[in-house]
Structure 1
Amino acid sequence: MKKKKMSFETNFWYAYEVENPFEVIDAFFDYADLDHYKNGLAEAVLYINKQEVYKKEYPGRVFLFYTIIRSFLKACFHLKDKGKKWKLKQEPDCKSILHQGSLTREEYANPFTVFKIAFAENSLDEFEFFLCEIIHIALSPNVVEFDYDLVTPYIHLVKMLDASQMMRESGLEKIKKIITPLE
């Protein structure tokens, strides 16, 4: 049975459709830096409890931000199983706890665990729902009541952003299988 390829939908914000999750991460950080994404996400979350519209002067940027993060989530979903075949080229040098960002020491050493944990706790559809709700509520001029958890997906998304940036900085290489002769 043939596997269906998931579209990362990068053609909305990048020059063309990217088909490799690692290339999506590269395109994602070529488009803007980590701080831009973290600030945009944090600002949208802050507008949940305000009676103001997020980026009222140019809501098109909010839609663009939504499509970019959605592509990022799809790429991260594919990266959750890549930890068995890929590893960091160089061991990350953890100079201080601030250098780790939101990652634990274990996650910093193996960033693929961030994706595995995030998608074990929430499905891709749940992350997309979270993103859609954050944007919907942030663009609403009224305070909207909601009865679902928005904090946990937010924390996982921030960790995925940090892990992706760290993977990009350190570089990745394929794990070579060592075949031992049978005795």
Structure 2
Amino acid sequence: MKKTRTDFQCPFSAVDKKYSPEQLMETYFQFNDLAASKKRLNSIMNYAVKRNSWIREDPSVIFHFRQSMQSFIRAGYLITLKKNKWTANTQSENISPLVLGLLSEKEYQNPLLVFKKAFKEYSIQEFDYFMSGMVYLSLGMYDNLPERNIVSPYIHLTKMLDAAYLILERKAK
């Protein structure tokens, strides 16, 4: 029986080092602010569904964002393979809705649930296809709309950004 392995490295990477998922997420958030990432992802989504307009940002910035999201998605998948629990002893009655963001109280308690749920519903390749399609459609004017459901992957990515930031914040404490 042939073993299949998922390649987690970017095709443009010249370095053959192995990193932990936490290191990959830390690197992502060193170069991309949480709020800026959510805003850019939102603008890519908005321009992808508009038919007669395209995103005005430099295409190289959008391409770099797609590449960094691709490595972020792989880091999220690697986190689901780990056996560690990322729970915290926070009381649910003290949690503000503004702090939760899109996360439910259960997901706030255990951010790993966000990643498990996302990768149960979609594979890494489907997230890559989603990001590539949204970037492609946002960079030009097309008559075609995306042929798949684009709301669910978008919500999963937004929740994964929140959960990863929460994991790194708790790890720092």
**TM-score of the two chains, using structure 1 as the length reference:** 0.81
Shift of residue 107 of structure 1? 0.5
Residue 10 of structure 2 is matched in structure 1 by 9
Q: RMSD over aligned Cα, in angstroms?
A: 2.6
Cα 1:3–1:137 change in 2 (3 A) is closer
Instruction: Tell me, in whole angstroms, the C-alpha distance in 2 between the residues paired with 1:2 and 1:143.
Output: 42
Cα 1:9–1:92 change in 2 (3 A) is farther
Residue 176 of structure 1 is matched in structure 2 by none
Cα 1:132–1:169 change in 2 (3 A) is same
Alignment deviations for residues 114-167 of structure 1 (CA, whole Å, 9 cap, x no partner) = 000000011111111111111011012224223210000000000000000001
Q: Is the 8 A contact 1:8 1:75 kept in 2?
A: no
Counterpart selection for 1:91 from 89, 92, 100 = 89
Residue 122 of structure 2 is matched in structure 1 by 122
Amino acid at match of 1:85: N
Amino acid at match of 2:86: K
Residue 54 of structure 1 is matched in structure 2 by 55
**How do 1:140-155 residues align onto structure 2 when only pairs under 5 Å count?**
140-155=140-155
Shift of residue 172 of structure 1? 7.5
Q: Is the 8 A contact 1:130 1:153 kept in 2?
A: yes
Alignment deviations for residues 27-79 of structure 1 (CA, whole Å, 9 cap, x no partner) = 001112100110000000000232222135x1110110110101101111111
Residue 171 of structure 2 is matched in structure 1 by 171
- Greater percentage in helix: 2
Shift of residue 10 of structure 1? 9.5
Residue 28 of structure 1 is matched in structure 2 by 28
Unaligned runs of 5+ in 1: 174-183
- Secondary structure of 1:98's counterpart equals helix
Instruction: Name the count of aligned residue pairs.
Output: 168
Unaligned runs of 5+ in 2: none
Structure showing greater radius of gyration is 1
Cα 1:123–1:4 change in 2 (3 A) is closer
Instruction: Tell me, in whole angstroms, the C-alpha distance in 2 between the residues paired with 1:115 and 1:171.
Output: 17
**TM-score of the two chains, using structure 2 as the length reference:** 0.85
Instruction: Tell me, in whole angstroms, the C-alpha distance in 1 between the residues paired with 2:127 and 2:155.
Output: 11
Where relative contact order (Cα < 8 A, 6+ residues apart) is larger, the structure is 2
Cα 1:126–1:3 change in 2 (3 A) is closer
- Secondary structure of 1:80's counterpart equals helix
Instruction: Tell me, in whole angstroms, the C-alpha distance in 1 between the residues paired with 2:153 and 2:8.
Output: 22
- Secondary structure of 1:145's counterpart equals coil
Bigger Cα displacement from structure 2, 130-139 vs 47-56: 47-56
1:71 matches 2:76? no
